[in-house]
């Protein structure tokens, strides 16, 4: 995919995953001439998955990462609507909330404490509440008969969202290339390979790769909330599928899908029996960039003037993307540094 030829680029983005394309869009909106380079094309890395759960951390033990994620999730609706308007292509975004089953009375009590925390920390802009199960078709089984329902969680289709972003930036005059020279300011959004390069450059382990696997089932429930059960995301999409994922594997023999997906499917059906007869229509596996801090790695690359980093979106990349994009665009183009302290790279 290629846009109009430019004499030079003000900003070169290396990587066409969610961080790279989001930053490209934010820079292009501000009038920068942008070039995106990725040998694999759009979504060739871990961003091109299936799940698309934009879901918040629990409203307790508040910290910089949770606050940043909260702000990004709140801005996501308008942010993605602008992308879709510019591209004419759906991103599959909808803020439909999330359900979580509560296994015992201790879990119910803790959830109610968190509801009180959310009332304060979420500033009335979203709710976390304990509600009775209703027995709906796409509702998780709950041993207590109680569920957590939050209204902050949203979903999008990762692949549709990336394509929508790609078209939006091309329509702004950017280019999207498989190879080429890095000209001007350079933003490295290169996933696992980028974390390895940073680790070598700084002489310490900045992060590593963690394999994840997911699958999609043919099941039509486009307006249903997503479900979280013991770390497993079950996400209905607008195209008549439900995504299930993902595993987190520190060691693996192959980067492709394998037998662990059978266990993932069994866990999903146990949690939501209505999925028992659903056909598996897609399987996915990829290696995702996990920073040692478990927060995104953003900001200037120490010792490399004019080079910046946006990496480490492990499991939360799509949810963090609007906030990451705007912060990085301000830093790269205007020199305004709003990167949270816990996200910054530091020199060795």
Say if residues 326 and 332 touch (Cβ distance below 8 Å): no
Say if residues 311 and 191 touch (Cβ distance below 8 Å): yes
In the prediction, which pLDDT does 276 show?
95
Kindly give the residue spans of alpha helices, DSSP state H, lying in the chain: 18-29, 64-87, 105-121, 158-171, 191-202, 260-271, 317-329
In the prediction, which pLDDT does 9 show?
65
Sorted by where each starts, the structural domains of the chain and their CATH numbers stand as 11-90+157-206+293-343 (3.50.50.60)
In the prediction, which pLDDT does 6 show?
41
Say if residues 12 and 35 touch (Cβ distance below 8 Å): yes
Using alpha carbons only, give the angle 246, 277, 227 rounded to the nearest 5 degrees. 40
In the prediction, which pLDDT does 4 show?
43
How far CA 208 is from CA of 50, 211, 250, 285, in Å, comes to 21, 10, 9, 16
pLDDT digit string (tens) for the chain, length 348 residues: 444 444 456 999 999 999 999 999 999 999 999 999 999 999 999 999 999 999 999 999 999 999 999 999 999 999 999 999 999 999 999 999 999 999 999 999 999 999 999 999 999 999 999 999 998 889 999 999 999 999 999 999 999 999 999 999 999 999 999 999 998 999 999 999 999 999 999 999 999 999 999 999 999 999 999 999 999 999 999 999 999 999 999 999 999 999 999 999 999 999 999 999 999 999 999 999 999 999 999 999 999 999 999 999 999 999 999 999 999 999 999 999 999 989 998 866
The values of phi and psi at residue 56, to 5°, are -80, 160
What is the residue-averaged pLDDT of the chain? 95
């Amino acid at each position: 995919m290629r846009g109009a030829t430019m004499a030079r680029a003000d900003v070169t983005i290396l990587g066409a995953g969610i961080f790279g394309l989001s930053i490209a869009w934010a820079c292009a909106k501000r009038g920068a001439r942008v070039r995106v380079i990725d040998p694999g094309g759009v979504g060739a890395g871990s961003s091109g998955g299936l799940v698309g759960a934009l879901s918040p951390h629990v409203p307790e033990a508040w910290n910089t990462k949770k606050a940043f994620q909260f702000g990004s999730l709140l801005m996501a609706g308008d942010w993605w609507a602008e992308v879709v308007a510019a591209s004419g292509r759906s991103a599959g975004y909808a803020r439909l909330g999330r359900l979580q089953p509560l296994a015992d009375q201790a879990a119910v009590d803790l959830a109610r404490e968190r509801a009180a925390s959310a009332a304060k920390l979420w500033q009335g802009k979203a709710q976390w509440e304990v509600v009775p199960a209703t027995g709906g078709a796409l509702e998780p089984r709950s041993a207590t008969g109680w569920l957590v329902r939050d209204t902050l969680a949203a979903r999008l289709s990762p692949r549709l969202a990336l394509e929508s972003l790609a078209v939006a930036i091309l329509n702004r005059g950017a280019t999207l290339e498989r190879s080429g020279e890095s000209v001007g300011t350079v933003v490295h959004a290169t996933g696992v390979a980028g974390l390895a390069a940073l680790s070598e450059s700084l002489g310490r382990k900045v992060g590593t790769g963690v394999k994840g696997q997911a699958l999609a089932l043919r099941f039509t429930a486009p307006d249903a909330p997503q479900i979280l059960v013991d770390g497993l995301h079950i996400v209905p999409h607008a195209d008549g599928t439900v995504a299930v994922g993902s595993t987190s594997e520190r060691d693996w023999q192959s980067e492709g899908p394998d037998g662990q997906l059978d266990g993932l499917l069994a866990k999903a059906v146990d949690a939501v029996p209505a999925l028992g007869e659903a056909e598996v229509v897609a399987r996915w596996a990829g290696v995702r960039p996990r920073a040692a801090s478990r927060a995104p790695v953003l900001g200037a690359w120490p010792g490399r003037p004019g080079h910046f980093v946006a990496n480490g979106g492990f499991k939360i990349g799509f949810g963090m993307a609007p906030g990451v994009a705007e912060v990085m665009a301000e830093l790269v183009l205007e020199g305004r540094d709003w990167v949270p302290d816990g996200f910054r790279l530091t020199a060795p």
